[in-house]
Amino acid sequence: MNIKKSKGKLEVRFKNTTTHFVNALRRIMVGEIPVSAIEEVYIKDNNSVLQDEILAHRLGFIPIEGEGTLKLNVKGPQIVNSDSFETTEGDVKATNKNVPVVELLNKQSIDLTAKTSIGLGKDHAKWQSAIVGYEYKNPKEIVLRIESCSALTEEDILKKSLEILKNKSDEFKAEISKYKSL
């Protein structure tokens, strides 16, 4: 396994392995690594161009670290970014401060509270830890490309996916061993 890090991406080159193994890692990275995201949004005031449902949906895709409650109380004119949130409860923050939320014009405002929770990408895309794909370089080499879309680093995503795959393998071996005596 050869690992190459570039700006915001991780490239892992596997030699002499199967597509089954690489695809299992990819599926775990996309759907089974727990990450935090905004889950509940309570909107007190929103007269921006975004409807309440669209605003709440958009907030769910901001990379968040930790669990707790965030407050957003802003007035236009300004461009509202993920750094506009204030933490009101718990240890929670947006890990990328430059995610645009909405542009507020004069006399427009947003006042809301958002609660975060930890979930899995297989339950909703807002909890997806990474964007992952793989490519056949030749019959003996497969390249896996990982780009985080969560608060986790690409290296952490790779490590966690390997741990999860190992645990699944151990559980499978334990189950299979029950039937060997039959």
Phi, psi of 81, deg, nearest 5: -115, 175
Pair 10, 40 in one domain: no
Q: Is the pLDDT of residue 182 over 70?
A: no
Pair 139, 155 in one domain: yes
| Confidence (pLDDT) at 142 | 96
Q: Is the pLDDT of residue 155 over 90?
A: yes
Mean pLDDT of the chain: 95
For 66-101, write each residue's pLDDT tens digit: 999 999 999 999 999 999 999 999 999 999 989 999
Pair 98, 152 in one domain: no
Q: Report the CATH number at residue 84.
A: 2.170.120.12
Q: Report the CATH number at residue 27.
A: 3.30.1360.10
The range of the structural domain enclosing residue 74 comes to: 36-119
Q: Where among 77, 96, 119 does a domain terminate? A: 119
* Cα 98 from Cα 42, distance rounded (Å): 22
